Structure 1
Amino acid sequence: MKNIILAAALISASALSAHAQTTPAADTNGNTPAVATQNSKNVTAPVEGANSFTQDQAKSRIEKAGFSDVKNLMKDDKGIWMAAGMKDGKPVNVALDYQGNVVAK
Structure 2
Amino acid sequence: MKQILSAAVVGLAIIGAGTAVAQTPPATGSTKPPAITHGTADSHSTAAPVAGKNSFTEAQARDRLEKHGYSAVSALKKDDQSVWRGTATKDGKSVGVAVDYQGNIVGQ
Counterpart of 1:96 (choices 99, 103, 106) is 99
How far off its partner does 1:32 sit?
1.5
Which residue does 1:52 correspond to in 2? 55
Task: Go from structure 1 to structure 2 and tell me whether the alpha carbon gap of 1:88 and 1:36 turns closer, same or farther (over 3 Å shift).
Answer: same
Give aligned pairs, total: 78
Query: Any unmatched runs of 5+ in structure 2?
Result: 1-27
Counterpart of 1:85 (choices 71, 84, 88) is 88
Structure whose alpha-carbon radius of gyration is higher? 2
Structure 1 distance, partners of 2:95, 2:35, is 26
Query: Any unmatched runs of 5+ in structure 1?
Result: 1-26
Structure 2 distance, partners of 1:57, 1:31, is 22
Counterpart of 1:73 (choices 60, 76, 80) is 76
DSSP 3-state at the match of 1:49: coil
1:62 maps to a residue whose letter is: L
Displacement over 2 Å in runs of 4+: 34-37
TM, length-normalised to structure 1:
0.67
Say yes or no: does 1:41 pair with 2:34: no
Spell out, residue by residue over 1:75-104, the C-alpha distance to the aligned partner (whole angstroms, 9 max, x if none).
111010001010100110000000000110
Structure 2 distance, partners of 1:37, 1:55, is 19
RMSD: 2.0
How far off its partner does 1:36 sit?
4.8
